[in-house]
Structure 1
Amino acid sequence: MGLEDDPFDHRITKSGTVMVSRGGQHVVTVAGAQAQKLIGKLGRSDEEDQQLLARATGNYRRGNERRGGSGAS
């Protein structure tokens, strides 16, 4: 299940925080300078917004996860 099937949603509050949810469940609230940077980047494209929101929540693959299998490290 990817971002296309289960996208993030966000709401920007009057106080400048970004409330991020997914599947109707609140995931994280981003505040302060981090929220202002995120707000400045949101709105360019839906795909880019999804990546930004995933990074803000920590639900982002960084490419260093092991993919299974049995091998020596």
Structure 2
Amino acid sequence: MSGRPAGFEYVVRDGSVVQILHHGRVATTLRGRRAADFLEDVGAGDDQQLMARLTGNYRHGNERVAKNHPRNRGR
């Protein structure tokens, strides 16, 4: 696994509502100013990273270390 976000797509509904999907399921819905800002930013950089940030579904980089911590063993 490369650690880069993947599986995100977005759909514009009713012209002002944006739904961000993760593997085909609705992860979040943006309306109003947030939707407009998203549509401006989506073409300017890494679309997958932007959608991952907005949905809160992204890696923090410490999952492997945290998994091996003594308090998390056996989970």
Matched, 1:53 2:35: no
CA shift for structure 1 position 41: 0.4
TM-score (norm 2): 0.66
- The alignment's C-alpha RMSD in Å is 2.5
Unaligned residue ranges in structure 1 (runs of 5+): none
Which structure has the larger Rg? Answer: 2
Share of identical aligned residues, percent?
A: 34
More helix by share: 2
Q: How many residues align?
A: 68
Q: Tell which has more relative contact order, 1 or 2 (C-alpha 8 A, sep 6+).
A: 2
1:1-73 alignment runs, 5 A limit: 2=3, 3-4=5-6, 7-45=7-45, 48-62=46-60, 67-70=66-69
Structure 1 stretches of at least 4 aligned residues deviating more than 6 Å after TM superposition: none
Unaligned residue ranges in structure 2 (runs of 5+): 71-75
**2:14 is paired with a residue of what secondary structure?**
coil
TM-score (norm 1): 0.68
